[in-house]
Structure 1
Amino acid sequence: MTLNNSLLILIKQNPGITYNDIHTKFASRYKNPASAKSALMRGLKDMTSFGLIKKDGLKFFITDKGLSSMSVEMKDKLVLKLNQSMKKPIDNLDELVKLLVVLLQRGAEDSDLLRNAKDNSAFTINDLVEVRKEIRSKRKYLKKMGELLDTQIEKLKEIDFNDSLLINFDADFVDKLIKYCNGQKILVETKDESILSKVPSHWIKQNTISVEGSDISLLIQLILASPWAKVVIYVPGVKINLMAGKASIFGSHKTISEFYSNMLVNMALDENNY
């Protein structure tokens, strides 16, 4: 969008806006204040000369001519965007539908907009019908692929393929993790000094911490106090990556399912997402 168009929109949306307020909104576009001032002064002067805006004291207002100019510009841009979207309609489907909705809504109140669209559009209703056919064809294909994928997922579960789970790393998770470990030895890998500096030295070998029994609870609570630290926890049959307050859990499907059901007994397993 050109500077003049941006200025027109700003003045239209803020009748009576002053130069200082305009400068404040546009100064960040330029490397230095002098460049911003020069460009804005030139733009405002040109638009005033062309009758697109008028100045009343220190305040700027858009004129009818300015509104008309902006309307024409917007009409042209709308049709241009529609033509661009129709070059690859499936890739731009969301944008295409939104633009068509805008065209029809505005066109109901502005006959010039529809006339402009009819005169300058590079597509027809039949082109849109063909797009719809392609969508329906893809929908059938995706449905078939989804059904085939469901079958493969079930077969992978039967052979106990690798699985994963992403959940929040919070106090509730920690309590259930400690119970799941049941005192068995766990290994923790981290380079985070906020954790390493707080654990006894005899727990640490290089960047790996090894604990079992009641020490598990102490260590996990320390990790919980640094939820943004990068940590990897190894418990029997399960690897847990901790980062940014999330726990990514990896293991075989049966192990993950057991881990999940044992730890989160109060949560229903949603087969559509898992």
Structure 2
Amino acid sequence: MTTKNTILLIVKQTPGIDYNSLLNKFSSSYSNINSARAALSRSLKDLTTFGFLGRKGNRYFLLDKGESEIFSELKNKLVIGLNDSLIQKNPVNDVDNIVQRLQIIIERSRQDKSLLKTSKTSIGFSISDLDDVNETLSKKIKHLNYISKVFGDQIESLKELDFNDSFSLAFSSTSSKFIASIFAGTGDEEFPVETQSAFFQKVFSGELGLKSKSNSFSVPKESLELFAASISKNSISAGNYIVTLFSSVFKAQFFGSRVIVSGPYSALSKWKKQLI
């Protein structure tokens, strides 16, 4: 509901409401009373200027134009929207909007008998139509629950068959040590590295003294932590280029401020548990 129509509805329900009482009702949707007061003052000025509300002293009354605006919003924006949602081929696909609009209509109809009458005469569907949508929704939920169970079982099977898994984490001095520990634990003595970044190629060959071949380098086991720390230190200067570190078990891809480590589920799971 717009700010304008919220105010009109409050005044309709409480004819002659004073400013402070109106502010108390209106401010419930604001976290800050000053913001609510500013929004209410601006809207009241417009609503009185354009003939939606009348004012006598500090009290406000709904005029015919304001009454028409409320019914227009109810009929055109809510009821027509509901009708359109329910006549489509698969109304269950729009159930979020249906539920939202129905709730607004129910709440307003309970507050105002004239709005209730307008709702009843304008709605182009029956309760049985809603029951049909609800039945379809229940079947869809049942099917999704079944699919979810099958999907979960398939995930467990992939774990048993040791398919690849991965995790992502923010790259920092702490996580660089963690990555170094993961690769050092594989038993490998040398770790291939690939990058298209001329910046990192210069860092690896110059600063770290790594052996290079084209765009590839080789990191000895004892230099893993220094290698990871160097990427962490220089990641901002290098931009979005990817640096990939390989072992006989794992692969780590460094880009920007993050790193993704992948490998067989059985080997990676113990490291993932340390992140929790």
CA contact (8 A) 2:262 2:268 kept: no
State the 1:109 CA deviation: 0.9
SS for the counterpart of 1:123 is coil
Over aligned residue pairs, what C-alpha RMSD do you find? Answer: 3.7
SS for the counterpart of 1:108 is helix
Runs of 4+ more than 6 Å apart? 9-13
State the 1:172 CA deviation: 3.5
Match 1:242 to one of 254, 260, 265? 254
Q: Which residue of 1 aligns with 2:222?
A: 214
SS for the counterpart of 1:237 is coil
SS for the counterpart of 1:71 is helix
State the 1:178 CA deviation: 0.8
Give matches, 1:132-171, under 5 Å.
132-171=134-173
Give the structure with the larger helix fraction: 2
The unaligned stretches of length 5 or more in structure 1 are: 23-43, 55-60, 269-274
Q: Which residue of 1 aligns with 2:263?
A: 251
CA–CA distance in 1 between the matches of 2:95 and 2:162?
39
CA contact (8 A) 1:195 1:222 kept: no
SS for the counterpart of 1:163 is strand
CA–CA distance in 1 between the matches of 2:99 and 2:65?
29
| Structure 2 length-normalised TM | 0.66
Q: Which residue of 2 aligns with 1:119?
A: 121
CA contact (8 A) 2:71 2:118 kept: no
Q: Structure 1 residues 114, 158: closer, same or farther in 2, change over 3 A?
A: same
Match 2:193 to one of 188, 196, 221? 188
Percent of aligned pairs with the same amino acid = 23
State the 1:186 CA deviation: 2.4
Q: Which residue of 1 aligns with 2:93?
A: 91
Give the number of aligned pairs.
Answer: 228
Give matches, 1:11-160, under 5 Å.
14=39, 17=42, 51-52=51-52, 64-76=63-75, 77-86=77-86, 87=88, 88-160=90-162
Q: What amino acid maps onto 2:66 in structure 1?
A: L
Q: Structure 1 residues 11, 71: closer, same or farther in 2, change over 3 A?
A: closer
The unaligned stretches of length 5 or more in structure 2 are: 9-35, 55-59
Q: Structure 1 residues 132, 158: closer, same or farther in 2, change over 3 A?
A: same
Match 2:245 to one of 233, 239, 245? 233
CA–CA distance in 2 between the matches of 1:148 and 1:105?
40
Q: What amino acid maps onto 1:260 in structure 2?
A: S
Q: What amino acid maps onto 1:68 in structure 2?
A: E
State the 1:93 CA deviation: 2.0
Structure 1 residues 122-131 or 144-153, which shifts more?
Answer: 144-153
